[in-house]
Amino acid sequence: MYFKNTAATTAGSGRKHMPETRKLTEFRRKIQHADAILIGAGAGLSTSAGFTYSGKRFEDNFSDFIKAYGLKDMYSAGFYPYETPEEYWAYWSRYVYINRYQNPPESVYDDLYHLIKGKDYFVLTTNVDHCFQKAGFDKQRLFYTQGDYGLWQCSVPCHNKTYDNETVIQKMVTRQQNMRVPSDLVPFCPICGAPMTMNLRADGTFVEDEGWHRAAARYQDFIHSRKEQNMLYLELGVGANTPGIIKYPFWQMTYRNPESSYVCINLEESCVPAEIEQQSLCIALDIGEALKEPGADN
Q: Count the helices and strands in the chain (H runs, E runs).
A: 11, 11
90-126 tens-digit pLDDT? 999 999 999 999 999 999 999 999 999 999 999 999 9
Same-domain check for residues 173 and 273: no
Evaluate whether residue 258 is within a structural domain.
yes
Res. 10 pLDDT band, cuts 50 70 90: very low
Evaluate whether residue 297 is within a structural domain.
no
Same-domain check for residues 126 and 262: yes
144-154 burial, b for 16+ CB within 10 Å, e for fewer?
Answer: bbebbbbbbbb
Evaluate whether residue 255 is within a structural domain.
yes
Nearest in space to 31 (alpha carbons), one of 111, 85, 92: 111
The residue range of the domain holding 189 is 56-103+149-200
**pLDDT value at position 38?**
98
Same-domain check for residues 34 and 115: yes
**pLDDT value at position 20?**
80
186-225 tens-digit pLDDT? 999 999 999 999 999 999 999 999 999 999 999 999 999 9
From the number of C-beta atoms within 10 Å of its C-beta (0-12, 13-18, 19+), residue 92 rates as buried
- Residue at which a domain ends, from 200, 234, 265: 200
Same-domain check for residues 239 and 275: yes
DSSP, collapsed to helix, strand or coil, labels residue 122 as strand
**pLDDT value at position 14?**
44
For the entire predicted model, the pTM comes to 0.93
231-246 tens-digit pLDDT? 999 999 998 888 999 9
Same-domain check for residues 215 and 279: yes
Same-domain check for residues 161 and 243: no
Res. 296 pLDDT band, cuts 50 70 90: low
Could you count the other beta carbons within 10 Å of the beta carbon of residue 117? Answer: 12
Average pLDDT on 130-148 reads 98
38-55 tens-digit pLDDT? 999 999 999 999 999 999
Residue type, 153: Q
Give the chain's domain count. Answer: 2
Same-domain check for residues 254 and 123: yes
**pLDDT value at position 7?**
47
156-180 tens-digit pLDDT? 999 999 999 999 999 999 999 999 9
- Residue at which a domain ends, from 200, 235, 270: 200
**pLDDT value at position 34?**
98
**Domain CATH for 268:** 3.40.50.1220
255-285 tens-digit pLDDT? 999 999 999 999 887 889 999 999 999 999 9
Same-domain check for residues 97 and 160: yes
Q: Is the pLDDT of residue 23 over 90?
A: yes
Query: 236 forms bridges with which residues in the sheet?
Result: 41, 265
Q: Is the pLDDT of residue 294 over 90?
A: no
Nearest in space to 290 (alpha carbons), one of 91, 26, 95: 26
DSSP 139: G
Evaluate whether residue 240 is within a structural domain.
yes
Same-domain check for residues 214 and 276: yes
Q: Is the pLDDT of residue 297 over 60?
A: no
